[in-house]
Amino acid sequence: MNTLKTTIRKYMQLITLFSVAVILIMVTFILVMIEQNRAYETAVKTFSQIEQILAENQKELADAQQEYSQTCIHNAETISRIIENEPDIVYDTEELKRIAEITEVDEIHIFDNTGRIFAGTHPEYFNYTFDSGEQMRFFKPLLEDKTLQLVQDITPNTAEGKLMQYSALWSRTGDFIVQVGMEPVNVMKITEKNELSHIFSLFAVSPEAGYCAIDAETGEIIGATLAKYIGRNINEIGLTIDNIQTNTHGFPATIDGNKTYCVFKKADNIYLGRIVLNSALYQQIPTISFLLAACLALIALILSHAATSYINRYVVERIQEVNQKLRSISDGNLDESIDIQSSLEFSELSTYLNMMIKSLLDNNKKMSYVLSKANRYIGVYEYNPHMNKVRFTEYIPMILGIDADEAERLASDYNLFKSFIDNIRRNPVPNEPGIYRLSEQAEQYVRLEELDENNKIFGVAINVTSEIIRRRALEFERDADLLTGLYNRRGLDNKLASLFKEPEKLGFSAFVLIDADGLKAVNDTYGHEKGDIYLKNIARMIHNFGPKSSIAARQGGDEFILFLYQYDSEEELLNAIHALEGIQDWGTAQIDDKTFVRLSFSLGYSLTKADMTYSELIIEADKRMYENKRRRKKDCKDTV
């Protein structure tokens, strides 16, 4: 078989070799510049994200600290009013502990006019004064000005040195000072999110690219995606501050013996850096150069057509055939193969193009394999009107919940596949853009995204079932009481906040506070496990109560809140509350197979009013509940 090289050597050899060499050098240089610029843009974008995360975390921390301070002073006010209404409980440590549990505080301290603790939830602190330590002295100005309401920053307490946040204020009567202490758990968690090690972990997705933070003055590495570099000086690994300051758009460097490309940006007193291995940064250039060389060789063959009719017969016509195959392949028909044997060069070209097509097909499997190792099941599909079949990666059937036969049927006709995708899009998940539920019977969710370019559809499907289920489980654990399944205090606050955004839809409404009367007797007689069953029975009754809308929550211990709303009149609302009063002492709870106990509870209510705050309504209902408890105890004694 004669080679084209022999035929056109005299005319094309020198010019072809020269042209290919020049073009390859130029293109390689341009590609290097493009990759370096891409590395710089990626780094700048990532640095911006890191700075944004830091700013958002700082704002979140400030908001959390402010919210914690407001909650702390609010709890002090609430406890002060409870004690003012029932002065005798100031000497009842157990009752104060119960109030602390209800109001979700860790410590309650009562000071006299001299600044000495004489009552509270922690008797071991009694007789401490505002002069007992630096932390205590913060509140000493209260002795001079009774109008003050002081909230202390998070600080170690005097007795144990544990981090606490305290607030204190005078009672409205001016007889005593109430101080409450709360452990700032949420604030400390948010503070941890500001650590560089945590933030860098969000970007540690590629072993070829790493991130670090360097002290601008000392050159010490204070944070990095690889822990082995933390604490080292940059001079030890092959970097200098001068290089970082001078090369603002990136520079090559040898770090620990590895050739890399580095980009740094100064943020306050640190340098944020992204370091990419050259092997990763320039990995596409050899392939592109090879493909470009093949294309240049093909162009040289086409130019030789002008030399002789022989080349015209065995080159041009074959090129047309190749073009037809490539056009079909570009439309997505990767089943096409190229087999031209008119010359050695075309034979080699056919082999390389077929290898390229096979490589494209293999890349789908490689991508799926890599994503599966990262626990991300992602499928890709592609179709257009010029191809009957649909191309998709191996995870598409699993993600979309179809068997092998159905997958083969859908792949054979893009109209069937398009209709199948359209049916999935008819079941969007509320408040989850781009996410759809695959089946009403099974809890399976998928994210679908498509790119349409000239009727060529490229789509991505991601299985997000575990993420949706996990997030909903976290929301339930956050807002629900684990024992009873009712809302907890946080869940109730969130639900009420949502409802009160549209107060015109609430109708007539009321807060009802409920206290389980018989819990202590059940616990003492049958054990706390049976007491839990007793509480679950009360919770079930509260949850199912009400001819209209209601929200039930457990405050903690044996106390519950029932919010009734959407009643048409105050009379209708009061009738519902009276109906609840009617079953206070007439219920029974089965605590095991053979044992039934009397189920009773005390209650107090407060009709919502525009001129009363949420806390005032709760205090009013709580006061009525205690009055109801005392009255029922008295009636019980009189009856006996």
- What is the C-alpha to C-alpha distance for residues 252 and 206, in angstroms, rounded to an integer? 19
pLDDT digits 0-9 by tens, 599-636: 889 999 999 987 788 888 889 999 999 999 898 887 76
Distance CA 617, CA 610 (A): 10
Lowest mean pLDDT among 271-280, 309-318, 439-448, 506-515: 309-318
Q: What is the pLDDT of residue 47?
A: 79
What percent of the chain stands above pLDDT 70? Answer: 80
* Whether the Cβ atoms of residue 97 and residue 121 lie closer than 8 Å to each other: yes
pLDDT of 179-232, one tens digit each?
998 887 655 665 555 566 666 766 655 667 888 889 888 999 888 888 788 889
CA distance 582 to 576: 10
Q: Are 554 and 482 in contact (CB under 8 A)?
A: no
Q: State the pLDDT confidence band at 374, using cuts at 50, 70 and 90.
A: very low
Check whether 303 has a pLDDT greater than 70: no
C-beta atoms surrounding 300 within 10 Å? 20
Mean pLDDT across 373-386: 71
Model confidence at 640, pLDDT cuts 50, 70, 90, reads: very low
Task: Check whether residue 541 and residue 459 sit in a common domain.
Answer: no
Q: CB under 8 Å to 258, separation ≥6 — which residues?
A: 277
Q: Which range is most confident: 60-64, 288-292, 299-303?
A: 288-292
Whether residue 339 sits in one domain with residue 485: no
**Residue 106 identity (one-letter amino acid):** D
Which of 327, 361, 395 is the C-terminal boundary of a domain? 361
Closest residue by Cα to residue 460 from 423, 427, 435: 435
Is the pLDDT at 361 greater than 60? The verdict is no
In this structure, is residue 450 part of a structural domain?
yes
Quick check: is 585 in a domain?
A: yes
Q: Is 156 part of a structural domain of the chain?
A: no
414 part of a folded domain: yes
pLDDT tens string 154-174: 888 877 777 888 899 999 888
Q: State the amino acid at position 482 in one-letter form.
A: L
CB count in 10 Å sphere of residue 240 = 12
Q: Are residues 415 and 559 in the same domain?
A: no
Query: Looking at the structure, do residues 357 and 381 belong to the same domain, yes or no?
Result: no
- Cβ contact 532:522 at 8 Å: no
| pLDDT reading at 506 higher than 80 | yes
Looking at the fold, whether 518 and 546 belong to one and the same domain comes out as yes
Q: Are 275 and 260 in contact (CB under 8 A)?
A: yes
- pLDDT > 60? residue 110: yes
Mean pLDDT for the chain overall: 81
Angle between helices 4-85 and 614-639 (to 10 degrees): 50
Four-residue CA torsion sign, 277, 283, 286, 288: negative
CB 178 within 8 A of CB 169: yes
Residue after which a domain boundary falls, among 468, 490, 505 = 468
Whether residue 458 is found in the same domain as residue 596: no
Whole-angstrom distance between the N-terminal and C-terminal Cα of the chain? Answer: 120
Whether residues 418 and 379 fall in one domain: yes
Q: Are 492 and 631 within one domain? A: yes
pLDDT range class, residue 562, cuts 50, 70, 90: very high
Mean pLDDT of 345-374: 59
- Read off the pLDDT band of 30 (50, 70, 90): very high
Distance CA 457, CA 421 (A): 12
Mean pLDDT confidence for 578-582: 89
Q: Is the domain of 390 the same as that of 351? A: no
Q: Does the structure show a pLDDT above 80 at 337?
A: no
- The per-residue pLDDT for range 397-447, each reduced to its tens digit, is 888 888 888 888 988 888 888 888 899 888 888 778 889 988 776 788 899
Q: Which CATH number is 530's domain given?
A: 3.30.70.270
pLDDT at 270 over 50: yes
Q: What is the DSSP letter of 429?
A: P
Between 360 and 341, the higher pLDDT residue: 341
Q: Which of 435, 468, 501 is the last residue of a domain?
A: 468
Average pLDDT over residues 558-576: 92
Three-class secondary structure assignment of 364-399: HHHHHHHHHHCCCCEEEEEECCCCCCCEECCCHHHH
Burial class, 219, CB count within 10 angstroms (exposed 0-12 / middle 13-18 / buried 19+): middle
> Is the pLDDT confidence value at 16 over 70?
yes
Q: Cα(49)–Cα(335) distance, rounded to whole angstroms?
A: 42
Q: Are 350 and 386 in the same domain? A: no
Same domain flag for 507 and 624 = yes
Q: Do residues 604 and 624 touch, judged by C-beta distance below 8 A?
A: yes
Which comes out higher in pLDDT, residue 80 or 185?
A: 80
β partners of residue 129: 116
Spatial contact of 170 and 145, defined as CB atoms under 8 Å apart: no
CA atoms 233, 236, 238, 240: torsion sign? positive
HSE-CB for 591 with a 13 A CA cutoff: 24
- Is residue 321 a part of any domain in this protein? yes
Contacts of 28 (CB under 8 A, 6+ apart): 285, 289
The residue among 160, 208, 172 whose CA lies nearest residue 39 is 208
Within 10 angstroms of residue 239's Cβ, the number of other Cβ atoms is 25
Rounded CA-CA distance 149/69 in Å is 11
Structural domains counted in the chain: 3
Q: Residue 211: inside a domain, yes or no?
A: no
CATH number at residue 454: 3.30.450
User: Would you list the DSSP string of 140-161?
Assistant: GGGGT-TT-EEEPPSEE-TTT-
Statement to judge: residues 484 and 582 lie in one domain: yes
Task: Name the band, by pLDDT with cuts 50, 70 and 90, for residue 559.
Answer: very high
SS3 state at 616: helix
Q: How far apart are CA 343 and CA 294, in angstroms?
A: 15
How far apart are alpha carbons 254 and 384 in whole angstroms?
47
Report how far residue 87's alpha carbon sits from residue 103's, in angstroms, rounded to the nearest whole number.
18
pLDDT (tens digit per residue) in 588-609: 888 888 888 888 899 999 999 8
What band does 373 get if pLDDT is binned at 50, 70 and 90?
very low
Residue 510 lies in a domain: yes
* Angstrom distance (rounded) from CA 298 to CA 315: 10
| pLDDT tens sequence across 31-42 | 888 988 988 888
Q: Where in the sequence is the domain holding 451, given as residue range(s)? A: 375-468
Q: Let me know how long the chain is.
A: 640
- Compute the Cα dihedral for 321, 323, 328, 332 and give only its sign: positive
Per-residue confidence (pLDDT) for residue 433, from 0 to 100: 87
**Separation between Cα atoms, residue 610 and residue 616, nearest integer Å:** 11
Asked whether residue 171 is assigned to any structural domain, the reply reads no
